[in-house]
Structure 1
Amino acid sequence: MLDNLKGLTGYEESEFKDIWENAIFVVDTNVLLNFYKYTSKEATQSLLKILKSLKESDRLWVPYQVALEYFFNYESNMYKQKEGYLFLGDGLHKLKEEADKTLKRTQSDYPYINTNEFKFYIEQLAKLNNKLDKILKAELDKLPDTSEIKDDIKKLLEGIIGEPYDQTKIDRIESEGNDRYKHDIPPGFKDKGNKKKEGYRIYGNFKYQKIYGDLILWNQMIDKVMGSDNPKPMIFITEEKKEDWWEKDEKDNIKRPHPLLVQEFINKTNQKFFMYRTERFVQYAKKYLNINITEEQVKNVTKDVETIRTLEQKDDFNDLNDSNDYPTLINPSSYIKSFFSSSSRRERLVDFLPEEKIDEFYDRLDKTNNMEELYVWCLKQSRANISKRVKILLDRLSYYDPEEANLYYERLKPFIDKKPILPYMKLLRNIEILEEKMIEIESNKFKDIKH
């Protein structure tokens, strides 16, 4: 009878042991794409070694949906680490270029100033740039070879990719998905409203709506076991973290696979199902599969995966609503907690809300546990008023000091252009500085007129 409640009761240790000894393992697209984002060759090789071992024992399988999305997306991920280092290097080198320009312009515009005493600054930056180039080269040399990774993954996938669905099957899944998503039945319902998931993926003889990609994958995993002459349990390795795959606690930490997924898999296949994120999979692979990897290698994988998740947290925050309608943050949770903890910042924010939205803001503030969602709501509601205020201030400043106005324009341009770069707190502070500057300028002008 408890088999009908496994999604909620979980498995015993003996059941986990049985699952690991017999399961077929399925790897998600995001796990494959992460190979291009690791900064450690050791981490790359450790995870690849485990997957190769599973393939050799005929225990690794890749749904067609996973392979399709991987091949559509791998090229855009191949050089991200290298691009990041080069972007960093270019940006830091520009510090010297800007310093050179400043010194030369000063010498030209203010020839009576002795600038020789300041040349040390340029010389020091030149020395720092030499050191920078050496460090950059060393870091780039340490990166895994993405061309080798591409070849390794291609070899890994050969012979283990499932068959695609025909259009009739896809249409049926999408029809069922429409009803499932209305009732928040996993997986995939969190993709509703995600602008990145709008539209269709078209390939070969079929097309599907992107919001149903996870549901198509889920069906392929279930059908793999149902259609087998020797059905086995299944372990899914994924970097997904949304609530349409996992159950989370009140602090947004992952507790376990979504109970509805576990139970649906058992009900349809009569086999057990479980999920792991990458580092937990590697830890348990060492324990249950007797694969020869060291604790240090496990730590390397964990460290790299955590770094990737931290860096990609910005993109996840953008997906809460409209991905380009508000600023991104390096550490959204910490930033927002700090933002709303200050009454003065909250009041400043309220100043830019439309009058009819102010009561709703305080009502939301009292009721919500999701401050990130509230933050996004505030940005969407106040953007028009903020943009209007910024434009007015810049127009006024340009009347008195065009060059200074241009500097502020460049600083605030990301927000004006609706690019997700500028943190809201920094934006408000810049507006405050602009307002203080205009008060000072116009006050002084008024005094000059009086005298």
Structure 2
Amino acid sequence: MSKDFIGYYQPSKDDFADLWKNGTIIIDANVLLNLYRYPASARDDMLRVFEKFKGKLWLPHQAMLEYQENRLGVIADQRVKFRGVKKLIYDTQDNFRNKLEELQLRKRSNIDPDKYLKSLNDIYKQFEVELDNLFNGQMDVSDEDEIRIQIMELLGENIGECPFDQKWLDDICKEGEQRYLQRIPPGYKDNEKSQGGEPCHHCGGLSFERKYGDLIMWFEIIEYAKQNSLDKIIFLTDDNKGDWFWNVDSDGKKTIGPKPFLVNEIHRKSNVKLFYMYTTEQFIKYAKEKLQFQVKPESIKQIKEATDKKIPFVIEPSGIPSTLKIGVPTIRDILSEDVENSLKRNVFDWLVSTFPCDNITDNTSHFDIVRISSDDHIFGYDFKGIGYLAQRSLDSLLIDYYYIAARYKLHGWNIIIPVSSSHFYMDTLIRRLKKDNIPDNVVISIVRPSSGSEYKTVYMLGSSSNCDWVYKP
């Protein structure tokens, strides 16, 4: 087999066994940051798995820099979400009570709602007490960080050194400009990192341009492999965008492995013969299988729930009434890549032509597209499969909106759902959503293909549907 096509082939069973036994495990920053988002039991299981590989772990300097820069923000976010859940409790109680009052049951029926309200209030109070206990135990930004202490103990000295000069970084950024234009991995989906925040990290007297962070880390991995004559590498990352992983749409998104280009490049530029990538969820599942390691099934489930989300948050369920166990759901679901890209191009082009003076960015961290108007109002646009709202309640949507509206000072959120011309669920979905009170400044747009790759809005729900910021070609 030509080495030019090595990336298109999966390692053999023997190769995988050799990789797990003798490979170096390189960790991305997002894997460490997600440890703060897991429930304590899942985090402990993950750290115990890492302990099995102590001495074989390595963290690139770029990953350490991004971890240190983002650590406090992740800790703060977890506390914000507790307040969002608490607000949901109050709002749900008030809404339910008001709806009952509107029915005037005491006057017009023999139903006495008071005893049911009391039972419901008791459950809510129990949940609120448990939530307060969890919140009080949640780490704050000024607390001693036990998670970081454990991470540093696991890594020891196995952390990449700061690049030796600015020229090395500048050359990577210059090359990155051309690679991103040609959509050469990794990192070309991170162009927005220069928007809405500081464009650079600064460390050791050097400047690290944020949007080239993945590429800097990738070149650092290749350089580390060359200098240390590594021939087997597992790269662990929770960045499951299409510029790292080879994803194929086959009855839903299937991850085949690393992008073939990445495998070919590290083979070509170093002595690495075996290179493979896992998300944390995949890694802990295979660790359980290959190491006969005791990992609780609930931990794997919680890790998947957290790492699948762009703004993940999981409440430890211990002690919470089973009727009220909550994990705040995902902010964005992934459609098939072809549909998402086609629809995204339509919406992006429509926004550019409709708002030529605004700053419009796609592939952002928390929204598919963000528009910042000339008066600094922020609008988010997300694309969902029709199953997104089929599987969710309005309360779940409210949790998302309360959090992101406060966190990002959002003025509007447009959820865009593509359907085929004869989708059997669309009418049912519309009827159900009509009964719900869509939050102010949230609009759900249902769109259909019209001609070629064009889409046409066929239905909108939400009190702000007539506003100019809503996608309606």
Taking structure 1 as the reference length, the TM-score comes to 0.66
Paired with 2:188 and 2:35, the residues of 1 have a C-alpha distance of 27
2:221 maps to 221
Aligned to 1:362: 451
1:212 matches 2:212: yes
Aligned to 2:403: none
- After superposition, the C-alpha distances for 1:178-197 in whole angstroms (9 at most, x for unaligned) are 12222221111222356658
Contact 2:191/2:211 (8 A) holds in 1? yes
Change (3 A) 1:83 1:360: closer
Query: Alpha-carbon deviation of 1:413?
Result: 6.0
Aligned to 1:236: 235
Q: Distance in 2 between matches of 1:163 and 1:66?
A: 11
**Structure with greater helix share of residues:** 1
Query: How far does residue 301 in structure 1 lie from its aligned partner after superposition?
Result: 3.4
| Equivalence map 1:254-403=2 (5 Å) | 254-272=255-273, 273-288=275-290, 290=291, 293-294=293-294, 296-297=295-296, 299-312=297-310, 313-315=330-332, 319-322=367-370, 325-328=379-382, 334-335=388-389, 339-341=419-421, 362-365=451-454
Return 5+ residue gaps in structure 1 as ranges: 105-112, 349-357, 366-373, 391-410, 428-451
Q: CA offset at residue 231 of structure 1?
A: 2.8
Correspondences of 1:193-208 after superposition (within 5 Å)? 200-204=199-203, 205-208=205-208
- Measure, in 1, the Cα distance between the counterparts of 2:156 and 2:386: 40
Paired position in structure 1 for 2:406: none
Change (3 A) 1:338 1:4: closer
Change (3 A) 1:415 1:37: farther
* Deviation sequence 1:236-281 (CA, Å, 0-9, x none): 0011112211111124321111011001101111213111111221
8 Å contact from structure 1 (residues 314, 330) kept in 2: no
Question: What is the SS of the residue equivalent to 2:238?
Answer: coil
Alignment CA distance shift 1:85-1:414 (3 Å): farther
- Structure 2: 5+ residue stretches without partners: 102-107, 311-329, 335-365, 372-377, 390-415, 431-446
Note the alpha carbon deviations across 1:70-117, whole angstroms, 9 max, x for none.
11111111254454344222331345567889999xxxxxxxx9xxx8
Q: Which stretch of structure 1 is more off in the superposition, 139-148 or 207-216?
A: 139-148
Corresponding residue for 2:35?
A: 35
Using the size of structure 2 for normalisation, the TM-score is 0.63
Aligned equivalents of 1:101 and 1:359: distance in 2?
Answer: 37
Q: Does residue 173 in structure 1 map to residue 175 in structure 2?
A: no
Question: For 1:415 and 1:51, how far apart are their aligned partners in 2?
Answer: 52
The equivalent residue for 2:354 is none
Q: 1:69 aligns with which of 50, 63, 66?
A: 66
Q: Secondary structure at the match of 2:65?
A: helix
Q: Within 1, Cα distance between the matches of 2:466 and 2:277?
A: 40
Which residue identity does 2:131 align to in structure 1? L
Q: Aligned AA for 1:73?
A: N
Q: Is the 8 A contact 2:418 2:448 kept in 1?
A: no
Paired with 1:74 and 1:332, the residues of 2 have a C-alpha distance of 34
**1:11 is paired with a residue of what secondary structure?**
coil
Checking the alignment, whether the CA contact within 8 Å between 2:244 and 2:258 is kept in structure 1 is: yes
Percent identity for Structure 1 against Structure 2: 25
1:7–1:263: 8 Å Cα contact kept in structure 2? yes
Deviation track 1:17-52 (CA, whole Å, cap 9, x = no partner) reads: 22222211111111111111112x221111111223
Computed over aligned residues only, the root mean square deviation of the Cα atoms, in angstroms, reads 4.4
Larger deviation: 59-68 or 302-311? 302-311
Residue of structure 1 equivalent to 2:81: 84
Relative distance call for 1:360 and 1:128 in structure 2 (3 A) is closer
> Which has the higher Rg, Structure 1 or Structure 2?
1
Task: Give a deviation string over 1:314-345, Cα, whole Å, max 9, x none.
Answer: 25775433265344478666456674546898
Alpha-carbon distance, 1:361 to partner: 5.5
1: distance between equivalents of 2:307 and 2:69? 21
* Aligned CA distance change for structure 1 residues 178 and 195 (closer, same or farther; 3 Å): closer
SS at match of 1:256: strand
Q: 1:196 to 1:301 in 2, by over 3 A?
A: farther
| Partner secondary structure for residue 451 of structure 2 | helix
For residues 91 and 267 of structure 1, the distance between their equivalents in structure 2, rounded to whole angstroms, comes to 53
**For residues 156 and 95 of structure 1, what CA distance do their matches in structure 2 show?**
44
Q: Distance in 1 between matches of 2:243 and 2:100?
A: 57
Residue 131 of structure 1 and its aligned partner are, at CA, apart by 2.8
Question: Using the alignment, how far apart are the partners of 1:253 and 1:192 within structure 2?
Answer: 25
Distance 1:15 1:332, change over 3 A: same
Distance 1:333 1:249, change over 3 A: farther
Instruction: Quote the offset at 1:120 in angstroms.
Output: 5.9
Would you tell me which structure has more strand in proportion to its own residues? Answer: 2
* Count of aligned residue pairs for this structure pair: 360
Q: Secondary structure at the match of 1:247?
A: strand
User: Cα 1:333–1:144, aligned 2, differ >3 Å: closer, same or farther?
Assistant: farther
Query: 1-side partners of 2:91 and 2:196: how far apart?
Result: 37
Distance 1:196 1:13 in 2: 44
Code of the residue aligned with 1:325 in structure 2: it is F
More off after superposition, 318-327 vs 168-177:
318-327
One-letter amino acid of the counterpart of residue 266, structure 2? F
